[in-house]
Amino acid sequence: MAPHSSSSPTSGLKADLRNAALARRDALDLDLRREGSERIADEVMAIGALGEAEIVGAFWPIRSEVDPRPLVHRLFARGQRIALPKVTPAGLVFREWKAGEALVRGGFGLSEPRDDLPPLDPTALIVPLAAFDRRGHRIGYGAGYYDQAIARLARSGPVLTIGVAFSVQEIHEVPAEAHDQPLDHLVTEAGPVSLIRT
C-alpha cells in the first residue's frame, strides 16, 4: 500500500497549520533546541511502557526537529535495540541501527540505514511531527508515512507511539482524518503533554 496522497479536503488546512508550526520551530534558538532535546530524552525515558520494548523505532533528525539522538544514547545504555526508518515506495521499512554505524543519504534529505540490513518491526516508535494537539493527533510532513507504519505495525500487536516536539508546535486542533493514528504519548521540552481522550 502506498503512502496517502495529500488530496483530501483538509489537506490545504493541514498544510497551512504545518507551515506555521514549522516556522515557529525554525525560529527557536539553537541552544534552546539542543537543551530541549536533552530534556525530552529524560522525559521519554521515564515512560514505563517504553522500557518493555526490545526494539524501539527512532529517527535521524532533519532541519530544526527535536534531536532524538540523546534519547537513542540513553536507550542503548539501557540495553534496548534501535531501528531507523527507510522511505520506500511501499512506505517505511525499519532496519536495525547500532551506535557508530554509517547511514546513507535517502530522499527528502534523510539519513537512513543501509539496504542490506534486515528489516525489523519495532514495538515502540518515537515519532517526529510538524504540529500536534492535546488529543494526541499530529500533523506530519504530508505523505502519511508514519500513519501507515503505525497501522501496519499494530496488525502484529500493540505498538507504543511517542511523539516528540517543541511546545511551539502545539496547535488548538488537528483536522484529523480517518487514516490518522493518535499518539499514546506526546513529550515536549516542557514535559509530558496531558492528552485529552474523547
Q: What is the mean pLDDT of residues 159-187?
A: 92
> Higher-confidence residue: 193 or 177?
193
**Quick one: average pLDDT of 137-166?**
93
Q: What is the pLDDT confidence band of residue 5, given thresholds at 50, 70 and 90?
A: very low
What is the rounded average pLDDT of the residues 142-153? Answer: 90
Q: How many Å is the Cα radius of gyration of the chain?
A: 16
Of 161, 171, 140, 170, nearest to 47 (Cα)? Answer: 161
pLDDT bin (cut points 50, 70, 90) of residue 176 is confident
The pLDDT of 18-46, averaged and rounded, is 98
Distance CA 192, CA 49 (A): 14
Q: Is 127 helix (H, G, I), strand (E, B) or coil?
A: strand
Domain parsing of the chain, residue ranges: 11-192
Q: Specify the higher pLDDT residue, 176 or 59.
A: 59
Q: Is the pLDDT of residue 6 over 90?
A: no
- What is the rounded CA–CA span in Å between residue 47 and residue 24? 27
Q: What topology is assigned to 11-192 in CATH?
A: Rossmann fold (3.40.50)
Q: For residue range 87-144, what is the model confidence (pLDDT) as tens digits?
A: 888 899 999 999 888 888 877 667 888 888 889 999 999 999 999 999 999 999 877 8
Average pLDDT over residues 159-168: 98
Q: What pLDDT score does 106 carry?
A: 76
Q: What is the pLDDT of residue 2?
A: 42
pLDDT-derived band at 47, boundaries 50, 70, 90: very high
pLDDT of residue 3: 47
C-alpha grid cell for residue 13?
488546512
d(CA 181, CA 178): 8
How many CB atoms are located within 10 Å of the residue 196 CB? 9
Q: Looking at 27-129, list the stretches that DSSP marks H as alpha helix, in order from N- to C-terminal side.
A: 30-45, 69-77
- What's the chain's average pLDDT? 91
* Residues β-bridged to residue 188: 191
